């Protein structure tokens, strides 16, 4: 098995002789160094101005009471011996990964215990800057883990305004500007440069230091050109171990990195980051759309993600998706949404956050998967179907396959929460994503608060109540999802006199009075989408629905405060559904009660009931669901009524189904 660390060693030798990458010529190439930054469509609210409420608060509390709040107590890689605490332990990406998620979790929950855990890493880092400006443990000088730590420090400054942060980052970036010409980006850093440029831009927004623009330019020029790669996208099939092994000569290192799932998730922010440097709005929007369209076309999954186990793996829903890629894709899309202000990006964020993200965890968030599958009927020690990952990849556990996700998953829910609302350049507020929350912020000179009361995405209504000391005028933009066919917006019980169109932001610009109530209703008719072999997946609103074939959890081994688990199905899973695009809206919806754990495997939140028959010939092999049978299916087995539950609740699942031959054809 090629572990990630081994992979890095290979990468180091491969790129040791690398020279600065020459940008390839194609439409959209930026010319010359930037002299300023173009404005983003929306400005995120500082960390702490949005607080989770309702089910989202419960979800973050589950995370805090699970692995996130306890990992450092028993997992050495982020424990007291961490290199990022001055110890002799892990000194690479795991400490920064942990802080990048634990920090927003701690501040969103205002949890003093978690803040104290976070501050050990923050204080050590801020207090141990070298005289030349270098940061981090002495054990390595890799730029990559530092790219993660500076992301965490930007959030820390947003939350606290700690006066140490801006000078610290300025010294580090000045040092990097002098060091990069002779010690250029390599391996991970070369493919993830856009994450650092994001923070360089963040710092420029606060200091106006023009040398930062030169650094952003240098990072881009040394980094891999994702935009050119997607202008001529070559990785259209399943990456195989054989092809990567054959490509392991230094000149072909690019294939390993270009097909790497996490790299691709992080790369989805490239166009947004470049837009701020170039101001080429239309070009960079097109670059982003081309990138995500290529990933979807060749590797798209019904859960909103793309396959990567751990390299791009094609369209079969039996292939897996790494958890790091899920949280990194979410973060990239959150940045891209704020930069371009496109409602379709918000739809995609919700699809991933409400499906793929919870789908990777057990109910209590004490165990996670490395790779999850959209069609996943057995979690066990199988060597298949992964492109390069090992046999433990879909276990629910502490560090199945590899520990990167163990350190990195923490950012998923907190950064989603931080991205729910934003500020618009005209002094207004934007509801980008929907989940229950409380907002305390300012518009003009006025303090206002907003309470968003909803069980969305499980229910169709969202109620927003405004509080302020006096009436205050400001524009309020409300995202209308692209999937809704009927959306209504009312203010104090009266229909708002505004244009309400799917996949746009509806604008209400009025004098808001204390106690004003906005109610959004998004009708959520079930719908069908098509996937591998023309298979069907069911959605209702942003939720994807799956068949749960029952679960028997068998402990494989204890892992300190947690354990590794195998999971076996209890019932048949091989059904074809009697539904298509025309009949989907008539599928029966059963709304129930949202429990204390929103994505618990035993759930009454919302279900779809529809007719189906078993297809006896559709089987699994070595625990892997065979490809979905092509074409309309017939079956002599009796018709049954299946209940589908939210994808994130189905810890075993079938999501992509064959279609049953309609009765009238
Ligand atoms: Zn990972």
For helices 193-207 and 270-278, angle between their N-to-C axes, nearest 10 degrees: 40
Ligand 1 centroid–CA 400 distance in Å is: 10
Helix axes 323-340, 270-278, angle to 10 degrees: 30
Share of the chain above pLDDT 70, in %: 94
Q: How far is CA 368 from CA 109, 365, 394, 496, in A?
A: 22, 7, 9, 44
CA of 163 to the centre of ligand 1 (A): 33
405 Cα: distance to centroid of ligand 1 (angstroms): 3
- For ligand 1, the distance from its centroid to the CA atom of residue 399, given in whole angstroms, is 9
| Range name among 49-53, 237-241, 371-375, 464-468 with the lowest pLDDT average | 237-241
As a whole number of angstroms, the distance between CA 383 and CA 387 comes to 10
Question: How far does the centroid of ligand 1 lie from the alpha carbon of residue 20, in Å?
Answer: 28
The Å distance, Cα 262 to ligand 1 centre, comes to 7
pLDDT of residue 243: 84
Residue 1: per-residue pLDDT: 35
Report the 10 Å Cβ neighbour count for 529. Answer: 16
Q: Which has the closest alpha carbon to 119: 103, 137, 98?
A: 103
User: Against a cut of 0.85, is the pTM above it?
Assistant: yes
Kindly indicate the confidence band of residue 20, based on its pLDDT and cuts at 50, 70 and 90.
very low
What's the token pair of residue 639? 């018709």
> Separation of 98 CA from ligand 1 center, angstroms?
12
- CA 473 to ligand 1 center in whole angstroms: 46
Q: What is the pLDDT of residue 251?
A: 61
* 350-400-247-230 Cα dihedral, nearest 10 degrees: 10
- Residue 412 CA, ligand 1 centroid: distance in Å: 12
How many angstroms does the Cα of residue 191 sit away from the middle of ligand 1? 16
Print burial letters for 617-643: b (CB count within 10 Å at least 16), e (below 16).
Answer: ebebeebbbebbbeeebebeeeeeebe
Q: Which residues of 310-329 are buried (b: 16+ CB within 10 A; e: fewer)?
A: bbbbbbbbbbbbbbbbbbbb
How does DSSP classify residue 312?
B
Mean local confidence (pLDDT), 406-430: 98
Least confident range from 235-249, 385-399, 630-644: namely 235-249
Distance 407 CA to ligand 1 centre (A): 8
pLDDT at 567 over 90: yes
Whole-angstrom Cα distance, residue 608 to residue 587?
7
Separation of CA 404 and ligand 1 centre (Å): 4
Ligand 1 mean position, distance from CA 105 (Å): 19
6 has a pLDDT exceeding 90: no
Separation of alpha carbons 561 and 552, rounded Å? 21
Q: Which pair of tokens denotes residue 33?
A: 């160094």
| Dist. CA 108 → ligand 1 center (Å) | 24
| Contact indicator for 651, 621 with CB cutoff of 8 Å | no
- Quick check: 8 pLDDT over 50? no
Cα(97) to ligand 1 centroid in Å equals: 10
pLDDT tens-digit map of 490-524: 999 999 989 899 999 999 999 999 999 999 999 99
Residue 31's pLDDT is what? Answer: 56
Distance 192 CA to ligand 1 centre (A): 15
Phi-psi region of 527 (alpha: psi -120 to 50; beta: other; left: phi over 0): beta
Which residues, by Cβ under 5 Å, contact ligand 1, an ion? 324, 404-405
The bridge status of strand 606-614 relative to strand 588-591 is: antiparallel
- Predicted confidence at residue 24, as pLDDT, reads 38
What percent of the chain has pLDDT above 90?
91
pLDDT tens digits, residue range 121-141? 999 999 999 999 999 999 999
* Separation of CA 195 and ligand 1 centre (Å): 17
Across the range 598-603, mean pLDDT stands at 94
Q: Is the peptide bond before 457 cis (omega within 30 degrees of 0)?
A: yes
pLDDT digits (tens, 9 = 90+) for 236-288: 999 998 888 876 666 667 899 999 999 999 999 999 999 999 999 999 999 99
Q: Is 569:551 a contact under the CB 8 Å cutoff?
A: yes
Q: If you average pLDDT over residues 167-194, what whole number do you get?
A: 98
State the distance from the centre of ligand 1 to the C-alpha of 278, rounded, in angstroms: 32
Q: What is the rounded average pLDDT for all residues in the chain?
A: 94
Mean pLDDT of 373-399: 96
Read off the pLDDT band of 15 (50, 70, 90): very low
């Amino acid at each position: 098995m090629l572990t990630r660390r081994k992979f890095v060693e290979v990468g180091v030798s491969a790129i040791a002789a690398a020279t600065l990458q020459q940008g390839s010529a194609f439409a959209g190439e930026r010319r010359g160094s930037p002299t300023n930054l173009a404005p983003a469509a929306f400005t995120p609210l500082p960390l702490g101005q949005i607080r989770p409420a309702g089910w989202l608060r419960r979800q973050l509390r589950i995370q805090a009471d699970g692995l996130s709040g306890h990992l450092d107590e028993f997992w050495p890689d982020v424990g007291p011996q961490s290199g990022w605490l001055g110890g002799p332990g892990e000194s690479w990406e795991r400490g920064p990964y942990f802080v990048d998620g634990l920090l927003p979790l701690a501040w969103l929950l205002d949890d003093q215990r978690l803040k104290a855990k976070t501050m050990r890493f923050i204080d050590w880092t801020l207090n141990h800057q070298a005289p030349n400006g270098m940061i981090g443990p002495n054990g390595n000088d890799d730029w990559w883990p530092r790219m993660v730590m500076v992301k965490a420090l930007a959030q820390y400054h947003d939350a606290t305004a700690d006066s140490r942060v801006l000078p610290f980052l300025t010294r580090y970036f000045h040092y990097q500007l002098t060091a990069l010409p002779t010690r250029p980006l390599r391996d991970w850093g070369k493919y993830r440069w856009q994450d650092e440029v994001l923070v360089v831009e963040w710092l420029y927004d606060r200091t106006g230091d023009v040398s930062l623009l030169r650094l952003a330019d240098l990072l881009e020029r040394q980094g891999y050109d994702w935009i050119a790669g997607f202008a001529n996208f070559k990785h259209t099939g399943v990456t195989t171990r054989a092809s990567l092994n054959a490509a392991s000569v230094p000149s072909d290192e690019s294939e390993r990195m270009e097909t790497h799932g996490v790299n691709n998730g992080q790369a989805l922010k490239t166009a947004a980051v470049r837009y701020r440097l170039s101001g080429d709005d239309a070009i960079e929007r097109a670059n982003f759309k081309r990138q995500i369209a290529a990933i979807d076309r060749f590797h798209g999954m019904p859960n909103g993600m793309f396959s990567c186990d751990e390299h791009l793996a094609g369209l079969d829903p039996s292939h897996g998706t790494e958890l790091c890629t899920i949280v990194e894709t979410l973060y990239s899309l959150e940045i891209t949404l704020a930069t371009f202000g496109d409602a379709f990006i918000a739809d995609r964020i919700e699809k991933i956050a409400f499906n793929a993200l919870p789908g990777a965890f057990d109910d209590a968030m004490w165990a996670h998967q490395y790779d999850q599958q959209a069609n996943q009927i057995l979690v066990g020690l199988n060597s298949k179907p992964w492109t390069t990952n090992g046999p433990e990849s879909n276990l629910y556990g502490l560090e199945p396959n590899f520990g990167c996700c163990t350190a990195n998953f923490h950012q998923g829910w907190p950064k989603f929460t931080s991205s729910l609302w934003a500020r618009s350049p005209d002094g207004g507020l934007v509801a980008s994503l929907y989940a229950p929350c409380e907002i305390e912020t300012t518009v003009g000179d006025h303090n206002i608060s907003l309470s968003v009361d909803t069980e969305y995405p499980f229910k169709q209504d969202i109620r927003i109540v405004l509080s302020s000391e006096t009436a205050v005028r400001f524009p309020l933009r409300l995202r209308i999802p692209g999937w809704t066919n009927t959306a209504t917006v009312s203010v104090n019980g009266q229909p708002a006199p505004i244009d309400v169109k799917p996949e746009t932001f509806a604008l209400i610009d009025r004098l808001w009075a204390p106690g004003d109530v906005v109610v959004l209703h998004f009708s959520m008719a079930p719908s069908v989408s098509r996937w591998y072999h023309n298979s069907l997946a069911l959605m209702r609103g942003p939720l994807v629905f799956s068949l749960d074939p029952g679960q028997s959890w068998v402990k494989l081994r204890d892992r300190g405060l947690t354990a590794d688990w195998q999971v076996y199905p209890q019932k048949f899973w091989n059904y074809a559904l009697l539904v298509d695009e025309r009949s989907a809206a008539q599928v029966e919806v059963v709304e129930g009660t949202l429990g204390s754990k929103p994505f618990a495997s035993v759930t009454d939140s919302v279900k779809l009931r529809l007719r189906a028959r078993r297809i006896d010939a559709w089987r699994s092999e070595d625990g892997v669901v065979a490809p979905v049978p092509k074409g309309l299916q017939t079956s002599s087995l009796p018709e049954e009524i299946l209940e589908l539950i939210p994808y994130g609740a189905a810890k075993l699942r079938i999501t992509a189904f064959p279609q049953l031959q309609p009765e009238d054809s």
